């Protein structure tokens, strides 16, 4: 009888919640990536040089990282659904606003708000995903993050296509924002209405436990590897492997596609071999990819290596987030906020650290050093609990 009741509950509540979670991850990926094709337009419209643009872009990461610790408390007090919906609405308002900024300060301000909205949605949707996964009793986190990766590819491609068709920048951004707002509006009622306010309020401000910080540092390394691919793979292919400017981006494209594909089947992998072995093998494979790309001078080897990085790194972050959300005696929201913030710190600061290391040696050596950090992640995989 209990199994029948459990199945009825799943059909009546959990399946719609799982679908809504997937779509929110998709919305987040589309929203973040839709900004990328808008950057050159903003630079040209406002007459920014590279240094000025770099300073403005810091506002995005600053907004995300500033809001994440607060979001952990908000989701615990008011529930993930409310934070997701409010963050999603602000995201949809800020996206077209980025196309209207009349000067650098305005752009930085809107970009800061855009980053805050994405950061809020990121923490809340991961906490919601942990709850859905817990109720389902099976791995689901990699699939959720797979939809985020698909959204990232679709958001950049979709915005680029709209602009290529001659649609004005504001109209294209408004169209994408309207689509995202429609998804949030349709799905909000399917999100779980649980509020972690039932957890003792005092825990909302408790210092993160050591294991949370360790998981955050491992996420820092994984996000650093992703940031290295985003910002340095094309430069490496041009300067060290003889690719021209028109084709150097193929390395990151291969990495992105590989990551999205593996994440979509990642839940089966985790269910079959467990989270510890998933992280250990994944981090080792990603490290091997960086070493292949940097140590073998044959140009196709670099492309193969970057694809291997995507295959290996794909499931590390989802498993880490799932582990943070399942720590006994700790608030999932607070733990996830800490881990997410440290992960974003790796994504934002990592490329700069690689740049400093490349200046001191060379880019190949700097990327090989990332392989060393990934091997450290593989050695620490035992801390990822079932």
Per-residue exposure over 265-304, b if at least 16 CB sit within 10 Å of its own CB, e if not: ebbebbeeebbbebbbbbbbbbbbbbbbbbeeeeeeebbb
Q: Which of 208-217, 232-241, 357-366 has the lowest mean pLDDT?
A: 208-217
State the pLDDT at residue 50: 65
pLDDT value of position 199: 44
Report the pLDDT averaged over residues 25-54. 83
- The rounded distance, in Å, linking the Cα atoms of 228 and 96 is 29
Query: What pLDDT score was predicted for residue 11?
Result: 45
Tell the burial category of 92 from Cβ atoms under 10 Å away from its Cβ (0-12, 13-18, 19+). Answer: buried
Residue-wise pLDDT tens digits, 155-201? 878 888 888 898 999 999 999 999 999 999 999 889 987 654 444 44
Least confident of 162-176, 234-248, 283-297: 234-248
Residue with tokens 């615990």: 76
pLDDT in tens, 346-355: 877 777 788 8
pLDDT tens-place string over residues 59-81: 888 888 888 878 878 887 888 89
Say what the pLDDT of residue 7 is. Answer: 44
> pTM of the full predicted structure?
0.78
CATH number of 211-383: 1.20.1250.20
Selection from 195, 194, 177, 183 nearest residue 90 by Cα: 177
Higher pLDDT, 157 or 30: 30
* CATH no. of 7-188: 1.20.1250.20
Q: Which residues touch 100 (CB under 8 Å, ≥6 apart)?
A: 170
Residues 151, 155, 158: CA angle, nearest 5 degrees: 130
Higher pLDDT, 225 or 326: 225
Distance CA 283, CA 253 (A): 20
Rounded to 10°, the helix 50-78/332-360 angle is: 160
Q: Residue 144: is its pLDDT beyond 70?
A: yes
Token code pair at residue 312: 């290996």
The two domains 7-188 and 211-383 share their CATH topology (first three levels equal): yes
What Rg, from alpha-carbon coordinates, does the chain have?
A: 20
**What is the pLDDT, as a whole number, of residue 385?**
62
On the question of pLDDT at 13 being above 80, the answer is no
Mean pLDDT, range 202-213, rounded to an integer:
58
Spatial contact of 116 and 94, defined as CB atoms under 8 Å apart: no
Q: Is the pLDDT at 89 greater than 50, yes or no?
A: yes
What are the pLDDT digits (tens) for 299-337?
Answer: 999 999 999 999 999 989 888 888 887 777 667 777 877
pLDDT of residue 301: 95
pLDDT at 308: 96
- Residue 201 is predicted with a pLDDT of 45
Please give the pLDDT value at position 184.
94
Q: Summarize pLDDT for 113-132 with one digit per residue, the tens.
A: 999 999 899 889 988 988 89
Domain locations along the chain: 7-188, 211-383
Residue of 332 and 228 predicted with greater confidence:
228
Query: Is it the case that residue 247 has pLDDT exceeding 50?
Result: yes
């Amino acid at each position: 009888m209990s199994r029948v009741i459990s199945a009825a509950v799943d059909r009546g509540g959990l399946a719609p919640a799982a679908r809504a979670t997937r779509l929110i991850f998709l919305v987040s990926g589309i929203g973040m990536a839709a900004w990328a094709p808008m950057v050159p337009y903003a630079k040209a419209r406002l007459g920014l040089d590279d240094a000025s643009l770099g300073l403005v872009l810091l506002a995005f990461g600053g907004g995300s990282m500033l809001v994440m610790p607060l979001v952990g408390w908000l989701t615990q007090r008011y529930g993930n659904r409310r934070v997701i919906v409010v963050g999603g609405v602000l995201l949809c308002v800020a996206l077209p606003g980025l196309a209207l900024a009349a000067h650098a300060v305005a752009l930085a301000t809107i970009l800061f708000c855009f980053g805050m909205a994405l950061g809020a949605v990121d923490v809340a949707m991961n906490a919601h995903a942990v709850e859905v996964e817990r109720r389902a009793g099976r791995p689901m986190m990699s699939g959720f993050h797979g939809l985020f990766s698909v959204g990232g590819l679709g958001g950049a491609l979709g915005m680029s296509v709209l602009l290529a068709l001659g649609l004005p920048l504001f109209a294209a951004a408004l169209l994408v924002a309207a689509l995202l707002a429609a998804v949030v509006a349709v799905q909000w009622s399917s999100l779980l209405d649980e509020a972690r306010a039932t957890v003792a309020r005092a825990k909302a401000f408790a210092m993160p436990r050591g294991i949370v910080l360790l998981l955050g540092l491992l996420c820092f390394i994984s996000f650093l590897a992703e940031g290295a691919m985003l910002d340095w793979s094309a430069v490496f292919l041009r300067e060290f492997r003889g690719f021209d400017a028109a084709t150097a981006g193929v390395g990151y494209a291969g990495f992105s596609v590989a990551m999205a594909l593996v994440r979509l089947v990642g839940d089966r992998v985790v269910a079959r071999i467990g989270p510890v072995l998933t992280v250990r093998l994944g981090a080792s494979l990603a490290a091997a990819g960086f070493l292949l790309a940097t140590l073998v001078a044959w140009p196709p080897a670099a492309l193969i290596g970057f694809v291997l990085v995507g295959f290996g790194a794909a499931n590390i972050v989802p498993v880490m987030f799932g582990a943070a959300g399942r720590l006994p005696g700790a608030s999932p929201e607070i733990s996830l906020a800490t881990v997410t913030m440290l992960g974003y710190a790796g994504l934002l600061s990592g490329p700069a650290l690689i740049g400093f290391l490349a200046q001191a040696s060379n880019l190949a050596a700097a990327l090989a050093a990332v392989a060393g950090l990934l091997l450290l992640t593989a050695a620490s995989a035992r801390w990822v609990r079932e």
